[in-house]
A and B are shown apart, each in its own frame.
Chain A
């Protein structure tokens, strides 16, 4: 039952990632005001983690992790932890609240910080690998 096991592993990882995302959101919302810092945080952090883990456990990686382990962390946890839907909805909500500058800033920050984070994670892991 290879497929069943794979789906279960991914489901569990995604569940844990999603729960962590929710808890982060609740914690951050205490002080975040009307800007979606919570989603920004999880997306950037999740990108950092996946960038690092992918390279650390990749072909030239120092860490050996089986396919199921990689799926659990990358597709499961990171996939569940990060979200594109909340990101898009929050952008729309900022626009509907007549805050186009905040909306643009949110998009730019998410993309720039997210992509920088995944790259930084990759670079850090590459250093460890060598």
Chain B
């Protein structure tokens, strides 16, 4: 369990840094009227975790590799994606009276992230079927 915790620790460190890098880059390009950076990070992270889930579910080989799930899924994807920034940014939009963008952030994030997770999952399923 201690080793698993270490994998999570380092995976999450990398995920957080990647999140900061990307959302910063997006903010500099598009500005911060709408939290596109967080949305992009969350959607991409969900795609990856969906794909990882299909890999582990299918043949268990990744699950057999000690620490892979802890490092990649719980660690990296968990640290990379964020619910707190999503919440805070939604709140700030509401406080600015921008209910439209706030509503779009909520529904957009939930829907896009779910679809991304599903796509990542199905993509791996399709690819592994093609390879067997």
Q: Which residues of A contact B (CB under 8 A)?
A: 6-7, 10-19, 21-23, 25-26, 43, 46-47, 49-51, 54, 71, 74-76, 78-89, 91-93, 107, 110-111, 114-115, 117-119, 122
Q: Which residues of B contact A (CB under 8 A)?
A: 1, 4-5, 8-17, 19-21, 42, 45-46, 48-50, 53, 70, 73-75, 77-88, 90-91, 106, 109-110, 113-114, 116-118, 121
Q: A85 touching B80 by the CB < 8 A rule?
A: yes
- State whether A83 and B85 are in contact (beta carbons under 8 Å apart), knowing that A22-B5, A88-B113 are contacts in the complex: no
Number of A-B pairs, beta carbon distance below 8 Å: 176
Q: B78 touching A80 by the CB < 8 A rule?
A: yes
Residues on B with C-beta less than 8 A from A23 are: 5
- State whether A88 and B116 are in contact (beta carbons under 8 Å apart), knowing that A17-B79, A111-B106 are contacts in the complex: yes
Residues on A with C-beta less than 8 A from B82 are: 78-79, 82-84
Q: Report whether over half of chain A's contact residues are helix, strand or loop; otherwise say mixed.
A: helix
- State whether A86 and B49 are in contact (beta carbons under 8 Å apart), knowing that A22-B8, A115-B87 are contacts in the complex: yes
Residues on B with C-beta less than 8 A from A26 are: 1
Residues on A with C-beta less than 8 A from B87 are: 47, 50-51, 114-115, 117-118
Q: How far is A26 from B70 in the complex, measured between Cα atoms in Å? A: 12
